[in-house]
Amino acid sequence: ENNQLKDIIAHAKEYGFVYPSSEIYDGLQAVYDYGPYGVELKNNLKKLWWESMTRLHENIVGIDAAIFMHPTTWKASGHVDSFNDPMVDNKDSKKRYRADVLIEEKAAQFENAGDTDRAKSLLSAMARLMEAEDFAALRDLLINENISCPISGTTNWTDIRQFNLMFSTQVGSVADESSTIYLRPETAQGIFVNFLNVQKTARMKVPFGIAQIGKAFRNEIVARQFIFRMREFEQMEMQFFVRPGTELDWYKTWAEARLNWHKALGIPTEKLRRHDHEKLAHYANAALDIEYEFPFGYKEVEGIHSRTDFDLKSHQEYSKKKQQYFDPEINQNYIPYVIETSIGADRLFLMTLCNAYVEEEVDGKQRTYLKLHPAVAPVKAAILPLTKKDGLPEKAREIVEALKYDFNIIYEDAASIGKRYTRQDLIGTPFCIAVDHQTLEDNTVTIRHRDTTEQERVSISELHVRLTAACSF
Ligand code: ATP
C-alpha cells in the first residue's frame, strides 16, 4: 500500500507537481515546493474553496491577516501553554516519535484485527493520561502495550517530554524575551482578533462567517507521509459566528455541507469517513474530522469544531476590549459562539492527487493518468497540431488565442500525437484538441477525452462552451 504512496510521490516530482524543498541541498524535512502543475492544481482547489465559501454565501466574507500577530494572541488562544505534543525517543534507534501517534497506530492495528474493544480502551487510556499530563504513566503504557520503535524494534523509550509546536523568532534587532514573536500555527486567530472589525465594516449580522486562506507553521515532531504533515503549510479556515444556543444546529449544517463539498469534488463516498471526537478539546462542545482513506489509512483532511465562545471570550479577557455583538432581533448583547471548518490546502491537494492517480492496463499496455475533475485540473486543454507544417501550427495557435483568456491552455507540437496524449494524461489534462488537415477545410477538431481516450469531432466554435461546461463545479 505504501508503494502506492511512493508511486504518487515519484509522479508528483517527475511531472512538476511537488518537489522537496531546496532539493539540491538534499531537501529540508517536511517542507515542500509546488511545481508548475502543482501550483495550478493548488490554486484551483483554493479558488473552489474560496468561492464556495464567500461567493455562494451572502453572509460569509473573507480576510487576509498577517502571519505575525501580537504575542499575547497566543497566550489568549492557549497555544503558548498547551500547543504541545508528547515527544519520545527510542534509545536504540535514536529516532524521535510522538507518543500519542505511536499509540494511535497500535490502536488502529487492533481495530484492523477486529479487536475494537481493545482499540477503544487503549485510546481512552491515552486520552486520560494526556489530559492529566501524566507522562510517566504514558510511557508505561507504551512499554506495557509492547509498542516498539518501527526502526529498532525495541521498547527502550526515553521519558516523554512536552514539545511546543510553535516556531518563534525575534522582532527587531534586540533579542530579548519581550521581542519574541511566533509564526502563526493556525490562521483562525487572525479571524478572531478581527471579528469586530469585520462585523462593523462589512455590516455583518449574526449568523455570519469569516473565511481565510493562509500559511501556518508547526514544528511537527514526526514529519512523514509527504505533504500530509508539513512544517510550513496552508490552511483554509472559516469561522462562523452564531447566537449562543444555536451552535449545535449550525455545527450539523456545516458538517453536512463540508462532506458534500468533498463528494462534489469527486471523492467517492466510501473513501470518506466522519470521525466524531469522543474526547473534546477544552474549548469545544462538539468536534469531528472528515477523514479520507489515504494509501496509509484513514486520516484527517478537515476538522469541524464547535468552539463555543472560548476564543472571543479569552481575547476579551486578555485585551480588555469587549468582543460583544448587539443582536437587534432579540435586543441583547452577547459574545457569539463559533463553528469552525478548517482544512489544509496541502492535505486537500494530497487527497485529490491520491484519488486521481489511476494506473490501468488497456490492451496489455500500462496507462497512468490523473483523473482530476476538470475544474481543478492544472491544464484544461492541450492544443495539438498533428504536424508542424501545412499551416496546422498557425491554425492551432488561433485556437489557443481564442481560449487562453478563460482557460489554462497548453500548445504542444513536438513528438508524435500519441506521446503528446500520454504526457497530458500524466498531468491530468481532461481534453486534448487535435488540429489536422480537415480542420483547415471545415473548422472542426478532434477532442480526445482523458478518462475514456475516446475521440469526437467538434466544431471550433463549440470549444469555449464545451470547456466552460466541463470546468464548472
Ligand atoms: P493532526 O491531528 O493531523 O496533527 P490537527 O488536528 O492538529 O491535525 P487542526 O489543528 O485541526 O489539525 O488543523 C486543521 C487542518 O489543518 C487539518 O485538518 C489539516 O488538514 C491541516 N493541517 C494541520 N497540521 C498540518 C500539517 N502539519 N501539515 C499539513 N496540514 C496540516
User: For 152-182, what is each residue's pLDDT tens digit?
Assistant: 999 999 999 999 999 999 888 666 667 889 9
Cα separation, 100 vs 391, in Å, equals 65
C-alpha cell at 255: 458538517
Q: DSSP state, 355?
A: H
C-alpha cell at 197: 472589525
Cα separation, 169 vs 229, in Å, equals 22
Specify the domain boundaries for CATH 3.40.50.800 within the chain: 379-471
State the pLDDT at residue 282.
79
* Closest to 298 in 3D by CA, of 228, 195, 214, 193: 228
Reported as a pLDDT band with limits 50, 70 and 90, residue 283 is confident
Beta strand residue intervals within 255-356, DSSP E: 272-276, 286-294, 297-308, 325-327, 332-334, 337-344
Report whether residue 300 contacts ligand 1, using a CB cutoff of 6 Å.
Answer: yes
C-alpha cell at 376: 481543478
Predicted structure pTM score: 0.94
Please tell me whether the peptide bond between 207 and the residue prior to it is cis, using omega within 30 degrees of 0. yes
Cα separation, 253 vs 260, in Å, equals 11
Per 3-state DSSP, the chain is made up of helix, strand and coil in percentages (nearest 5) of: 40, 25, 35
The answer to whether residues 431 and 382 touch, using CB atoms and an 8 Å cutoff, is yes
pLDDT in tens, 285-323: 999 999 999 999 999 999 999 999 999 999 999 999 999
Three-class SS state of 405: coil
Integer distance in angstroms from the first to the last C-alpha of the chain?
31
Q: Output the residue whose Cα is nearest ligand 1's atom 9.
A: 303
Report whether residue 230 contacts ligand 1, using a CB cutoff of 6 Å.
Answer: yes
State the pLDDT at residue 235.
98
pLDDT in tens, 46-85: 999 999 999 999 999 999 999 999 999 999 999 999 899 9
State the pLDDT at residue 78.
94
Cα separation, 53 vs 258, in Å, equals 10
Q: Output the residue whose Cα is nearest ligand 1's atom 11.
A: 303
Report whether residue 214 contacts ligand 1, using a CB cutoff of 6 Å.
Answer: no
Report whether residue 229 contacts ligand 1, using a CB cutoff of 6 Å.
Answer: yes
Angle between helices 135-144 and 99-112 (to 10 degrees): 40
Helix residue spans in 372-445 (DSSP H):
392-403, 417-427, 437-442
Q: Output the residue whose Cα is nearest ligand 1's atom 6.
A: 303
Q: Output the residue whose Cα is nearest ligand 1's atom 21.
A: 344
Report whether residue 303 contacts ligand 1, using a CB cutoff of 6 Å.
Answer: yes
Angle between helices 345-356 and 2-14 (to 10 degrees): 100
Question: Would you say residue 183 has pLDDT above 80?
Answer: yes
Specify the domain boundaries for CATH 3.30.930.10 within the chain: 2-67+189-353
Report whether residue 220 contacts ligand 1, using a CB cutoff of 6 Å.
Answer: yes
The answer to whether residues 433 and 460 touch, using CB atoms and an 8 Å cutoff, is no
Question: Would you say residue 1 has pLDDT above 60?
Answer: no
Please tell me whether the peptide bond between 374 and the residue prior to it is cis, using omega within 30 degrees of 0. no
pLDDT in tens, 229-244: 999 999 999 999 999 9
C-alpha cell at 426: 500524466
Cα separation, 239 vs 188, in Å, equals 7
Report whether residue 432 contacts ligand 1, using a CB cutoff of 6 Å.
Answer: no
CATH 3.40.50.300 fits 2-67+189-353, yes or no: no
Backbone angles phi, psi at 164, to 5 degrees: -80, 135
306: β partners? 286, 339
Mean of pLDDT values over 423-447: 98
Q: Output the residue whose Cα is nearest ligand 1's atom 24.
A: 229
Report whether residue 374 contacts ligand 1, using a CB cutoff of 6 Å.
Answer: no
State the pLDDT at residue 167.
96
Reported as a pLDDT band with limits 50, 70 and 90, residue 224 is confident
Mean of pLDDT values over 449-462: 97
Q: Output the residue whose Cα is nearest ligand 1's atom 2.
A: 300
| Residue appearing with cell numbers 507522562 | 135
CATH topology of domain 379-471: Rossmann fold (3.40.50)
* Closest to 469 in 3D by CA, of 371, 381, 378: 381
pLDDT in tens, 346-372: 999 999 999 999 999 988 889 999 999
Q: Which of 191, 235, 298 to mutate to test the pocket of ligand 1 (most atoms within 8 A of CB)?
A: 235
* 355 burial level (CB within 10 Å; 0-12, 13-18, 19+): buried
pLDDT in tens, 405-427: 999 999 999 999 999 999 999 99
State the pLDDT at residue 176.
67
* 419 burial level (CB within 10 Å; 0-12, 13-18, 19+): exposed
Instruction: State which ligand 1 atom lies nearest to the alpha carbon of 344.
Output: 20
Mean of pLDDT values over 8-22: 97
